[in-house]
Structure 1
Amino acid sequence: MRFDQLKIFKEAADLQSFSKAGKKLHLTQPGVSSQINSLEKTIGIPLFDRHTHGVSLTEIGQIVYNFSVDVFDLHKKMEQQIDAIISSSDVKKITIGSTHILGTYYLPLDILDFEKKYPHITVELKVMDDHEVLTALKEKKIDIAFIEGPVQDDTVDLHLLAFDELVLVASKNDPVLDATALSNLDFKKGQLLMLEKSFGISKTLLEGLEQHTIDLHTCSNVKSNLSNIHSLKIAINAIGAFSFLPRITVQNEIRFGILEEFPMPQMQLFIPYWAATLKESHIPIIGTRFIQFFSLNQNHDLIKDIQTKIPCWELTNCSIKYGGSECEVYKNQCFPCWTVKGTPCKGPSGLDTGRCHNCEVYLKHGENRPILITQFR
């Protein structure tokens, strides 16, 4: 029995509905059903009676519910005692360094909420270029680094926070661009703008396109010397170009018709967000608390965050046990298994074999919610 399953169970019981519980917890209705079914299998007895217009607890379900109330009451008291220790700590300030995306679109609100909860603690935010953040961490100028994209550095511990989707956007009224060609990943017309290739977004994009046999290094219409998101978005409209950007950074431009999103049915790209700390370095308790606070903050409606650390091959009894090196998902990290060709689920052609909608992983994390494999190593 897992804590997250018990939380889903209690919400479903309180609301007498799987779909309402899913909306509140940012899960799909099939995902809620899957977790409830798994909990019922663990206990060995049905916990809910299913009705046309909702659900109600069985006699055994009521017993489990009563204990779940006690569990969450104890959890609340535990959190209160931890918060009291944090508030009385001698450390009253943490300094975090962040890339422009996280430092502009996510962290400011989290810092305000965190300081509201802990009024005696100050969080100093330093926003810098991608390559500068880890350097500042290693030089101990900051306590925590918030970064995105693929990271390979043996000197830091990475804490997975969440995901965002990379979307293809272009100037809304540019007659040169071919919408069909763009959606089919044909980039011969128009100009592709990117941030510098050392940036996490660019690394994620290059890896993703490489998986679809698109090598941007051979394209003459790619410009990759821009240093920030703001200038990139201005340039898209100014010169009639297109780009791949995290959804959080362009949601307003898409909503107000400044930029147009081009759907990519053949490809889905996700960028991971990380908190990085130095290995063998003491992190103040308020620092670890802030990392947890960020990853659990419900303000981030667009983030596709991972709700479980159980590997997909354990949940599904996959024939490639423990994510062997021959598994394409294991090789192509940061991609949802159902978007990668050559997996047991998708087959060599990448076509849907029909297994996804019976898969517990997909039911809980589906609808473009990715499963990151690196955390299972």
Structure 2
Amino acid sequence: MGDTNRTWLLAERPDGRPDEGCFEFVERDVPEPGRDEVLVRTLYMSVDPYMRGRMRDAESYAEPWEVGDPMQAGVVGEVVESNHPRWTEGDVVNGELQWADYAVAGGHELTPVDPDVAPVSTALGVLGMPGMTAYFGLLDVGEPKPGDTVVVSGAAGAVGSVVGQVAKEAGCRVVGVAGAEEKIDWLTDELGFDAGINYQEGDVHAELRAACPDGVDVYFDNVGGPVTDAVFRELNVRSRVVVCGQIALYNATDVPTGPRKLAQLIQKRAKVEGVLVSDYADRYGEAAERLGRWVADGTVQYRETVTEGLENAPDAFLGLFDGVNIGKQVVHVADRE
């Protein structure tokens, strides 16, 4: 175990797009676990778009961080010291911990990760929160039926890529929207999407209409903004819109307000519903079992964009807003001992 604990703090709240000045890297003593607590050494750390909301001093579904406090993230780590009867040294666990080499957590706050099932980093992606968000958001909120046309924005991300593959498993036609030809190629050539649209090039609405000649039955929205405006024009009667993320607006200082596109839902009688994976906590086992089986048999494939080193965690996070990642963005901090 190292002598010091490198930790990232929230240095200041961003005004618009975050930059390196929002983060402070400090060295502290390695914490000691108390009663029923566990000391965890970070192996992989997640960075996710929702973290941008936690940098604001505003009410949200995720509690905001205070300036000067450690940043937090989903972490896969190795138990190095345990005062909890469930965990022993060497166990691999998953939990909401800190952007740090080491963190202390209550034993009840951690879940096990089986290294024999898949690489442990997948507990932060396809077999973790993003995969489960895709699973419940599509199947429970989107309610896809065989023959439906499903459009996914942010389709090459951790959530969107799983949504599209689960929709194909459900017998749907799937169209993915992403921001680079490399991503479109991955979606269509490897993941089985029926069509892909690069929103950075051409007329998104015209390409969407060509790719969805029978309209859109389910729209899984990870992006918002102009892409969502274009999809709304092609919604079918009784279509379902799953609102999972709005990354196009997360850094905006002047966010457009008002129900600009809601009038289009009147004629279409479309349902629009947000999804938070925490609402399905009592069914995580169901999602984990099915996703694990699909990954094992190749029904669901995944990619990870791995940034090396805790010291580079802010770069990994900021890169999310440039769309540099394909699949799940993780930070590799250490190897198992």
TM, length-normalised to structure 1? 0.24
Compare CA radii of gyration and give the structure with the larger one.
1
TM-score by length of 2: 0.26
Greater strand proportion: 2
